[in-house]
Amino acid sequence: REQTLTHLGWVYSKARKIVVISRFAQHLVGLPIFSHGGKGLEKKEKSEFVGIRDFQHFRHTPTDSVHPNLLCHRLQPFTQASKSHWSVINGDSYVQFTRPMSFAYNTRCTIEGHLQDQDLNNLINL
């Protein structure tokens, strides 16, 4: 776990991967990606999630969701990352499409990859 010092004191924080689904003048809207500690959707509402998998390493991994998996394609310099590297979306990851989040453009981020247009359209249409 990471800790961040705020005006309220130290708080636990964690970097979160998201899928950007909308962009506006001052902010963007993204959907969070969760792995639930490697437990998949064991105790979650399966209809609210869609699997997301790394195209290179996990494209054939089955899903616990009722929706077909989305495939993430990594960008440079992440394309040569090993299967266990933090930039690789593993076989237990899911996008929660019922929990959109807003981020200002001054929020620190790293663009690691993208979805093909068809997968992005499928996600938006859920």
Residue ranges of the domains in the chain? 2-124
Instruction: Please state the length of the chain.
Output: 126
pTM: 0.87
Question: Which tokens sit at 14?
Answer: 């964690």
Rounded Cα distance between 9 and 77, Å, is 35
Res. 1 pLDDT band, cuts 50 70 90: low
Backbone CA torsion sign across 22, 45, 37, 78: negative
* Overall average pLDDT of the 54-74 stretch: 95
For residues 98-111, average pLDDT:
93
* pLDDT tens-digit map of 114-123: 999 999 999 9
**8 A C-beta contact, residue 95 and residue 68:** no
